[in-house]
């Protein structure tokens, strides 16, 4: 036979079961209500040996030899039955009723009052199934799992019966002390509703014994007041509960005759409530929240993320297939030599074969196809041919030169149209290919992010709960998530009680990391969800100063500032070539496209390639110089992407660094090679970006650096204004081109 290990859990079960047996036997001097509990504990699978020991010890308290004998007899009869059933891996099921009848029979036979024992025996049989549900909640579920309504009802009945036994054994004052402790703990750890239900349940036992309904009033009021003060602080909850109970006890005399020592029964439970650590109550609160399917909710979050990730991967695959499809369907129009040879053959078919002298020329092996091909190649290069482009040999031997020239020029026109058509079609396909590649990349990155399981930190939730409670912040739910991007805390609030700035400060102090509110979403008319994420310690300030070309209608310079995520932003200056309406339109188009693509998450090189292609295939010539800066405030890094733009400058207290750019503007060539530079930044650094209107006015980068060295203030707006003012001064107040200066200063946030 397998020996039972004596662990803390078995000892605890032994003590708890023995206590409950004793309480149930205390309902009446002749009571044996512990029998149905003994049967129910065996039914749910607890160790028979331990239960037999605690069951017999509960009757030994009365020093009644008859009851001790009956308890031993019942244990010897019932325990082997349950052991055999368990060994055969069968269920007791409905047999619990006859087993209960067998168990109560010895107690009834040895009773002085057979009629009372018969009634109590019938009650034991009815309570057997009630106690099974209650025992399952206490000993199997351990209050860790959500209970059904029937289980809660059975537990309430069980609690009332045990409470009656407790009062009979220890008296009303001891019971009052226990109820005060239970109510204050419940008020601080659980909801108002749970506290009121507990208070009413605890009021049933003394009311049944005394038929005095004052207990319903006093305990309900105590539960309500404790719940209200629990929202403020632990100390106020204890003080309010103590004063209220002393009022009921000494002033209103609702509990009967008052003695000063009775106040100890009020003071002790309140002091015990204060003594227990707040973390313990918050742990109970979290467990209670778990009963409301919070684990299922958290599982559903990760499952939904995984499903979204899979769908995003599938969509990314679709766009990858589109890209591959267009690449595989590229038209192969053949080499130039092959095309020129075909054109030469067409001249022979259309002109020479219809010539009266064709047979004569044919006998002389004329015309020479290679000679025609060379003449056509010259015509393609020039755009058309004339008499002077023909060879002396060809002119001397051909009698219909003008017809040949006319046919060749017609073929050249068709050739150029075909080439233009193929180029436009190729550009369109290339644009779609680039867009598909960009979208596929974004979808894959999103899929990768969503595929990562969110790590839920219950210990951190407990820590934050404690901090929020201590600072009087009332919330409904909390969830702490850890991922690659840092920490995220999500809370739900009653909208009327929401204090964003205080919540942000308390959570930041509790974690030791600056947290910032990134979203606030209404869930209903009265409830909202607030999400806080790790915030960068640094921030940025911006300054912009610009003017249009003297006499121009509009400026061709435009700018953009885009927040990519919580710690990353992009600034961009677009300089449309020239000035006026067309330059402004080109500049705005380019910057609008770049802004949209960056917001969508497409990487910089893909963005510029797509924008360049769009501008290049426009009906009109549209050129735009671009100066793009992206800054990551978490790791203090920056990326410059420069296309036909002047130098930029990184200004620190120690030095001024130049960032050069030398590529052609967007829209000139189909393929661009932007200048890309990744550099580290330091706290207090200022980045200055200018358009060519300003750089041309200064004359050189050296002149700009000398000017910047003489500035005392690096306030970004003042810096931009000073640079523009000096540039205008060099032009005698009349700008020869659109001028724009944009400054970005990195600084540490105030704590």
Give pLDDT tens digits for 193-219.
Answer: 778 888 888 888 888 888 878 888 888
Report the largest interatomic distance among the alpha carbons of the chain, rounded to a whole angstrom: 150
Residues 392 and 261 in one domain: no
pLDDT for res 1: 38
Assess if residue 206 is contained within a domain. Answer: no
732: in domain: yes
Confidence class of residue 42 from pLDDT cuts 50, 70 and 90?
Answer: confident
Same domain for 659 and 715, yes or no, is yes
Query: Is 226 a member of any domain?
Result: yes
Sheet holding 648-651, edge to edge: 538-547, 739-748, 686-690, 648-651, 656-659
Residues 626-655: tens digit of each pLDDT: 788 888 887 778 888 777 778 888 888 888
Say which residue, 671 or 463, is predicted with more confidence: 463
Q: What is the pLDDT of residue 363?
A: 74
Task: Label residue 107 by pLDDT band (50, 70, 90).
Answer: confident
Return the exposure string of 74-85: e unless at least 16 CB atoms fall within 10 Å of the residue's CB, then b.
Answer: bbeebbeebeeb
Q: Could you report the per-residue pLDDT of 270-305, keeping only the tens digit for each?
A: 888 888 877 776 666 666 655 554 544 555 566 666
In the predicted model, what is the mean pLDDT of the chain? 75
In terms of DSSP bridges, do strands 477-483 and 648-651 run parallel, antiparallel, or are they unpaired? Answer: unpaired
Is the per-residue pLDDT at 716 higher than 60? Answer: yes
Please check the confidence at residue 93 and state whether its pLDDT lies above 80: no
Q: Which of 17-21, 146-150, 692-696, 723-727 has the lowest mean pLDDT?
A: 146-150
Count of domains forming the chain:
5
Instruction: Give the tens place of pLDDT for each residue, 354-408.
Output: 787 777 777 777 777 777 777 777 777 777 888 777 777 777 777 777 777 787 7
pLDDT band at residue 551, thresholds of 50, 70 and 90? Answer: confident
List pLDDT tens digits, range 143-170: 665 566 777 788 888 888 888 888 888 8
Same-domain check for residues 406 and 523 = no
Tokens of residue 584, six digits = 């402004």
**Hey, which of 174-178, 420-424, 492-496 has the most confident mean pLDDT?**
174-178
- Average pLDDT, integer, range 321-327: 57
- The verdict on 304 and 323 lying in the same domain is yes
| pLDDT for res 691 | 86
Rounded-to-integer distance, Cα 550 and Cα 737, Å: 7
pTM for this model (two decimals): 0.49
Looking at the fold, whether 727 and 581 belong to one and the same domain comes out as yes
Q: Say what the pLDDT of residue 293 is.
A: 46
Question: Are the C-beta atoms of 663 and 644 separated by less than 8 Å?
Answer: yes
- What pLDDT, on the 0 to 100 scale, is given for residue 425? 60
pLDDT surpasses 80 at 451: no
What confidence tens digit (pLDDT) does each residue in 432-448 have?
A: 565 566 566 656 656 66
Residue 666, pLDDT above cutoff 60: no
Classify residue 543 as left (phi > 0), alpha (psi -120 to 50) or beta: beta
Same domain, 154 and 29: yes
Residue whose C-alpha is closest to residue 271's, from 237, 224, 314: 237
Of 391, 419, 453, the last residue of a domain is 453
Note whether 149 and 180 are same-domain residues: no
Please compute the mean of the pLDDT values over residues 36-64 and round it to a whole number.
81
Q: Is residue 362 domain-shared with residue 321, that is, in the same domain?
A: yes
Give the whole-angstrom CA distance, residue 188 versus residue 278.
9
pLDDT band at 2 (very low <50, low <70, confident <90, very high): very low
Decide which of 13 and 603 is more confident.
13
248 secondary structure, DSSP code: I
Question: In this predicted model, which residue has the larger pLDDT, 440 or 727?
Answer: 727
Rounded Cα gap, residues 644 and 576, in angstroms: 11
Whether the per-residue pLDDT at 485 is higher than 50: the answer is: yes
Comparing 622 with 112, the larger pLDDT belongs to 112
pLDDT at 208: 85
- pLDDT reading at 323 higher than 60: no
Is there a domain that residue 52 lies in? yes
Q: Is residue 199 part of a domain?
A: no
Question: Do the beta carbons of residue 355 and residue 400 sit within 8 Å?
Answer: yes
Q: Please say if the pLDDT value at position 620 is more than 60.
A: no
State how far the alpha carbon of 2 is from the alpha carbons of 5, 78, 405, 447, 719, in Å: 9, 19, 111, 53, 85
Has residue 585 been placed in a domain? Answer: yes
State which residues form the domain around 262: 175-192+211-268
Which residue from 287, 35, 349 is spatially nearest to 144, judged by alpha carbons? 287
What pLDDT score was predicted for residue 463? 80
**Residue 143: per-residue pLDDT:** 63
Same domain, 703 and 601: yes
Q: Which of 409, 425, 453 is where one domain is finished?
A: 453
Shared-domain flag, residues 554 and 429: no
Same-domain pairing of 529 and 543: no
DSSP 587-655: HHHHHHHHHHHHHHT--HHHHHHHHHHHHHTSSS---EEEEEEEEETTTTEEEEEEES---EEEE-SS-
Q: Does residue 747 carry a pLDDT above 70?
A: yes
Is residue 185 in a domain? yes
Which run of H or E residues covers position 750?
none
Domain boundary among 268, 290, 311: 268
313 contacts 369 by C-beta, under 8 angstroms: no
Checking if the pLDDT of 75 tops 80, the result is: yes
Q: For the ranges 112-126, 189-203, 410-424, which has the lowest average pLDDT?
A: 410-424
Residue 200 maps to a domain: no
Residue 482's φ and ψ, nearest 5 degrees, are: -120, 130
Q: What is the pLDDT of residue 288?
A: 61
**Res. 717: pLDDT tops 60:** yes
End-to-end CA distance of the chain: 67
Tell me how far the alpha carbon of residue 302 is from its chain's centroid: 10
pLDDT at res. 318: 57
**Number of Cβ within a 10 Å radius of residue 730:** 15
**Residue 179 near residue 226 (C-beta atoms within 8 A):** no
- Tell whether 543 and 499 lie within a shared domain: no
Per-residue pLDDT tens digits for 500-545 = 888 888 888 888 888 878 778 888 888 888 888 877 777 888 899 9
Q: How confident is the model at residue 619 (pLDDT cuts 50, 70, 90)?
A: very low
pLDDT of residue 243: 86
The domain that contains 657 carries what CATH number?
3.60.40.10
Task: Specify the pLDDT at position 296.
Answer: 46
């Amino acid at each position: 036979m397998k020996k039972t290990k004596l662990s803390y859990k078995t000892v605890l079960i032994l003590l708890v079961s023995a206590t409950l047996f004793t309480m149930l036997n205390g309902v009446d001097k002749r009571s044996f209500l512990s029998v149905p509990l003994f049967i129910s504990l065996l039914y749910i699978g607890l160790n028979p040996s331990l239960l037999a020991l605690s069951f017999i010890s509960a009757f030994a308290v009365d020093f009644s030899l008859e009851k001790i004998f009956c308890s031993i007899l019942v244990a010897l009869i019932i325990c082997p039955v349950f052991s055999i059933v368990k060994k055969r891996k069968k269920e007791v099921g409905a047999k619990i009723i006859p087993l209960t009848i067998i168990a109560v029979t010895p107690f009834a036979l040895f009773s002085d009052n057979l009629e009372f024992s018969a009634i109590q025996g019938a009650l034991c049989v009815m309570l057997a199934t009630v106690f099974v549900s209650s025992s399952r909640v206490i000993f199997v579920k351990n209050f860790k799992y959500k209970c059904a309504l029937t289980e809660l009802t059975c537990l309430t009945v069980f609690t009332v019966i045990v409470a009656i036994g407790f009062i009979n054994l220890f008296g009303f004052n001891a019971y009052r002390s226990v109820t005060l402790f239970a109510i204050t703990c419940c008020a601080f750890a659980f909801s108002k509703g749970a506290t009121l239900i507990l208070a009413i349940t605890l009021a049933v036992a003394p009311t049944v014994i005394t038929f005095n309904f004052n207990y319903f009033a006093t305990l309900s009021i105590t539960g309500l007041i404790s719940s209200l003060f629990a929202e403020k602080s632990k100390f106020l909850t204890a003080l309010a509960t103590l004063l209220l109970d002393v009022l009921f006890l000494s002033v209103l005399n609702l509990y009967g005759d008052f003695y000063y020592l009775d106040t100890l029964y009020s003071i002790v439970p309140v002091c015990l409530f204060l003594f227990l650590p707040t973390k313990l109550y918050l742990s109970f609160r979290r467990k209670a929240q778990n009963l409301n399917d919070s684990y299922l909710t958290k599982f559903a979050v990760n499952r939904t993320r995984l499903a979204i990730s899979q769908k995003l991967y599938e969509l990314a695959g679709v766009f990858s297939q589109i890209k591959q499809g267009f690449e595989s369907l590229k038209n192969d129009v053949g080499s130039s030599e092959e095309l020129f040879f075909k054109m030469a053959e067409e001249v022979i078919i259309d002109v020479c074969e219809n010539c009266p002298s064709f047979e004569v020329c044919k006998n002389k092996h004329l015309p020479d196809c290679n000679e025609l091909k060379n003449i056509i190649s010259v015509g393609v290069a020039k755009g058309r041919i004339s008499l002077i482009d023909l060879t002396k040999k060809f002119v001397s031997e051909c009698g219909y030169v003008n017809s040949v020239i006319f046919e060749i020029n017609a073929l050249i026109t068709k050739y150029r149209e075909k080439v233009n058509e193929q180029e436009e079609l190729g550009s369109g396909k290339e644009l779609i290919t680039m867009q598909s590649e960009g979208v596929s990349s974004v979808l894959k990155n999103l899929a990768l992010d969503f595929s990562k399981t969110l790590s839920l930190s219950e210990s951190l939730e407990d820590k934050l709960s404690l901090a929020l409670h201590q600072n009087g912040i009332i919330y409904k739910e909390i969830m702490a998530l850890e991922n690659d991007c840092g920490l995220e805390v999500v809370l739900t609030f009653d909208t009327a009680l929401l204090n964003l700035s205080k919540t942000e400060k308390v959570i930041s102090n509790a974690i030791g990391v600056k947290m910032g509110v990134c979203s606030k979403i209404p869930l209903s008319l009265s409830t909202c969800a607030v999400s806080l994420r790790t915030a960068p310690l640094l921030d940025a300030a911006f300054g912009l100063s610009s003017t249009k070309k003297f006499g121009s209608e509009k400026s061709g310079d435009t700018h953009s500032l885009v927040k990519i995520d919580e710690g990353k932003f992009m600034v961009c200056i677009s300089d449309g070539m020239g000035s006026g309406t067309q330059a402004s339109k080109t500049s705005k188009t380019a910057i609008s496209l770049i802004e949209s693509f960056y917001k969508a998450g497409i990487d910089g090189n893909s963005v510029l390639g797509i924008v360049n292609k769009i501008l290049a295939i426009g009906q009109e010539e549209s050129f735009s110089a671009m100066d793009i800066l992206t800054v990551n405030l978490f790791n203090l890094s920056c990326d410059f992407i420069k296309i036909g733009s002047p130098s930029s400058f990184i200004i620190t207290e120690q030095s001024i660094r130049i960032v050069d750019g030398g590529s052609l503007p967007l829209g000139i060539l189909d393929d661009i090679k932007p200048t890309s530079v990744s550099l580290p930044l330091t706290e207090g650094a200022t980045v200055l970006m200018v358009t060519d209107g300003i750089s041309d006015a200064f004359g050189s980068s050296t002149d700009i650096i000398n000017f910047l060295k003489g500035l005392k203030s690096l306030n970004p707006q003042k810096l931009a204004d000073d640079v523009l003012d000096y540039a205008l001064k060099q032009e005698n107040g009349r700008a020869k081109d659109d001028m724009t200066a944009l400054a970005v200063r990195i600084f540490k946030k105030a704590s």
